[in-house]
């Protein structure tokens, strides 16, 4: 069988949609996708239906499209030793040991956020979330931090930037509270947000200052370690 006979045109078209995204343009409209791939909009919509179903593409609130979490999950299988997780996970483990609560690291995916790394509280009553889970970006401490330090406008986000952290209580889940800080590398690029979360009855106002201090230490350590 020749190489030409082995090709599957529909697969190649779907891959061309995924490859239309780049570091500078992580969110694309249907028009932009059509221009970049040379495909008709109707064709793109059909292919995107399947890509969305399997988590390779996500549709954002404004009608644009972004790469989905399934690509990260596959990429995580490929990554060699020495990747981001090798730096983040020890910090999460330390936070869990110090607070006895859950520690997480989130990144932004367009108008959503994804839990990239997570270590759960050793306590039997806790909030469970899997690595790779995608959540709204406009609710919860890590989402608020990712928006604030991506330049989101408004007094609410100005306040987060001034304080350097976000504290949410029952915002996404009525039973959960969280404190989150942005993580920057040495070049000043935000790489994600790190948080401590717990049942709302445990992460109370009196624990805010000491927990922020612990998170700041982790952020400083990551800033020095991140390439």
pLDDT of 215 reads 98
Nearest residue to 196 (alpha-carbon basis) of 216, 172, 220: 216
pLDDT of 110 reads 78
**Distances from the Cα of 226 to the Cα of 143, 183, 199, 217, angstroms:** 21, 10, 31, 14
- Please report which confidence band the pLDDT of residue 111 belongs to, taking 50, 70 and 90 as the band edges: confident
pLDDT (tens digit per residue) in 71-90: 877 776 655 444 788 899 99
Q: What is the pTM of this model?
A: 0.69
How many CB atoms are located within 10 Å of the residue 54 CB? 9
Nearest residue to 127 (alpha-carbon basis) of 106, 102, 105, 104: 102
Half-sphere exposure of 162 (CA within 13 A, CB side): 7
Please state the rounded mean pLDDT for residues 19-23.
83
The strand order across the sheet containing 57-59 reads 27-28, 65-67, 57-59
Whole-number Å distance between alpha carbons of 64 and 28: 5
pLDDT of 82 reads 47
Q: Which domains does the chain possess?
A: 3-67 (1.10.10.10), 80-225 (3.30.450.40)
Whole-number Å distance between alpha carbons of 80 and 78: 6
Containing 208, the helix (H) or strand (E) segment is helix 208-225
pLDDT of 3 reads 45
Average pLDDT value for the chain: 89
């Amino acid at each position: 069988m020749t190489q030409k006979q082995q090709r599957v045109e529909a697969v190649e078209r779907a891959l061309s949609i995924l490859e239309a995204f780049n570091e500078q343009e992580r969110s694309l409209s249907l028009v932009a996708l059509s221009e970049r791939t040379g495909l008709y909009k109707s064709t793109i919509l059909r292919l995107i239906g399947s890509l969305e179903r399997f988590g390779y593409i996500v549709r954002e609130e404004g009608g644009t499209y972004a790469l989905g979490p399934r690509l990260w999950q596959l990429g995580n299988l490929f990554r060699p030793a020495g990747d981001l997780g090798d730096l983040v996970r020890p910090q999460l483990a330390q936070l869990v040991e110090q607070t006895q609560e859950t520690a997480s690291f989130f990144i932004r995916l367009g108008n959503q956020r994804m839990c990239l790394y997570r270590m759960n509280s050793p306590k039997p009553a806790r909030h469970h979330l899997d690595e790779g889970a995608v959540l709204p970006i406009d609710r919860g401490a890590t989402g608020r931090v990712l928006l604030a330090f991506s330049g989101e406008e408004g007094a609410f986000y100005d306040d987060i930037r001034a304080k350097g952290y976000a504290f949410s209580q029952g915002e996404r889940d009525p039973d959960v509270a969280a404190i989150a800080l942005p993580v920057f590398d040495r070049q000043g690029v935000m790489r994600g947000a790190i948080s401590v979360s717990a049942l709302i009855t445990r992460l109370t106002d009196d624990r805010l200052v000491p927990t922020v201090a612990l998170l700041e230490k982790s952020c400083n350590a990551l800033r020095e370690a991140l390439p």
